[in-house]
Amino acid sequence: MKIGLCSFSGYKIYPGHGKRMVKTDGKTFHFLNAKCEASHMMKRNPRKITWTVLYRRKHKKGIEEETTKKRTKRTAKFQRAIVGASLNDIMARRNMKPEVRKAQREQAIRAAKEKQRAQKAQKKTTTQPLQKAAQKQKDVPRPHF
């Protein structure tokens, strides 16, 4: 049993059904029914007619999605040395106990604060004589011309 396909709709045409049309240039068309034939004659686009197989294929209707999941690229993590710190230094820091790390942090903060205090004190001593000289100059009256 030979089953044909409708040239317009894409549906199966069983033996004893449908209509075959041959144009003068030799092209043959096999239509399922008068509806398909009339639509073809009116030069309708089967991709725009909602009930045709071509439309359903174009708009992905009725296709069961495959069970395979989309593969996403996973970023591979690896350890690498950074400028100014070797890999061994980084691993040692990472493997430190939290108490030791906290103590180191506090010590570093203390050292930074001491450094700031020293800089402030040095700045004060250098700016005081300049301020006194500026005050003396202010008190001197200007001559009028």
The pairing of beta strand 19-22 with beta strand 28-31 = antiparallel
Choosing among 2.30.170.20, 3.20.20.60, 3.60.20.10, 3.40.50.300, the CATH entry for 4-58 is: 2.30.170.20
If one compares 136 and 112, the residue with the highest pLDDT of the two is: 112
Asked if 30 and 38 touch (Cβ cutoff 8 Å), the reply is no
Composition of the chain by helix, strand, coil, percent to 5: 45, 10, 45
Domain map (residue ranges) of the chain: 4-58, 85-118
What pLDDT was estimated at residue 51?
97
Give me the residue label for tokens 């639509």.
39
Q: Which two tokens stand for residue 135?
A: 């005050």
> 133 vs 120, 123, 127, 139, 143, CA distance in Å?
21, 16, 10, 10, 20
Q: Is the pLDDT assigned to residue 133 strictly greater than 70?
A: no
What pLDDT was estimated at residue 130?
63
If one compares 59 and 135, the residue with the highest pLDDT of the two is: 59
What pLDDT was estimated at residue 127?
73
Q: How far apart are CA 63 and CA 20, in angstroms?
A: 30
Please state the pTM of the whole predicted model. 0.45
